[in-house]
Each structure stands twice: as structure tokens, then as C-alpha cells.
Amino acid sequence: MAWAVAATLVAAVPARAAGTDGDPLRAPACREALAALERAEREAPAPPAEGASGAMPAALTAARRQAAQVCLAGPPDPPRPAQPSMRPPIAVPLATVAPARPPPSVPGPTMAVPAPRAPVTITACDTTGCWASDGTRLQRAGPQLLGPRGLCSTAGALLNCP
């Protein structure tokens, strides 16, 4: 029961402010504000030509605000500050980042890289094997030659042994 009474009271408040039929544009206060706006527009000077900038008269601006607030039930504009609220920008120094240090090197086992060897050639052959230019004896294993570390391959006069 109390709920129905409260809903009726809330619905009645805008109807009284808006007029008898509930339309805020037909309320007497809105009609008065619109009439004041029309008077301000008639009294205002002609608008500037296209492309030209000109400020709207203060009376016309105030009349438009008043009509909008009354007829459209908008909230009033907040008061403007007396001085502009703009402040000069704050200068913030750029952040500098130190270059990353390389990770400490961990001493590990070092490997000696063998020096490149001079090309080896076959100097002389017999029925059991061949002699190479570096002084090694290569044994014959079928059509292949067997060096001290494995099978050797030949490319013309050059010999490649592992």
C-alpha cells in the first residue's frame, strides 16, 4: 500500500512541472523561456558571413541555456572558473636505461682448433699400397686406400684422408 502511494507521488511531481498533459514543452515556464529566446534572437545582430568567426552575444547564449534547462529538464551548467584552468605542461625527464651487461663468461673447456693442413698428394704406389707426400704409408683395401685414421678419398692427384 505504501509502495503505491509513493509511486503516485513521484509520478505527480513531473506532471505538475510539465503542465496538465505531461508534456514539458507545453508547460507555462517553457513557453515563457521560448518567448524570451525569440526576443533575444530578434535583438541579436545578424550572424557573421560563412567562414568568419564571431562570438554569439551573451544575452542570446543565456536565453538558449535557460530555454534548454526549462523545456528539456536539463541540469544547470556548472559555474565556469574565473580564470582558465590550463596550466603549463609539466616537464618530465626521459628515463634512461643503463645498457645491459653481458653475463659473466664461465670458463669452459677450450678446444684447440687444428691448423689447416697442406694438401696431400700420392707420390708412389705399389701392389700393397701407396706413399703420400706427407710421408705416410696408405694400405690398399680393394680399390680404396686406408690411412692411419680411416678410408681416404682421392680427387685427381689430391688425397683426402681423415
Spell out a b/e string for 73-95, using b for 16 or more CB atoms within 10 Å of the CB, else e: eeeeeeeeeeeeeeeeeeeeeee
Statement: the pTM of the whole predicted model exceeds 0.75: no
Domain boundary assignment for the chain: 2-46+55-72, 120-160
Encode the chain (162 residues) as per-residue pLDDT tens digits: 333 333 333 343 444 444 456 777 788 988 999 999 899 888 877 766 665 556 677 888 888 888 888 888 766 666 666 766 677 888 888 888 888 888 777 777 777 777 877 778 888 888 888 888 888 888 888 888 888 888 888 887 788 887
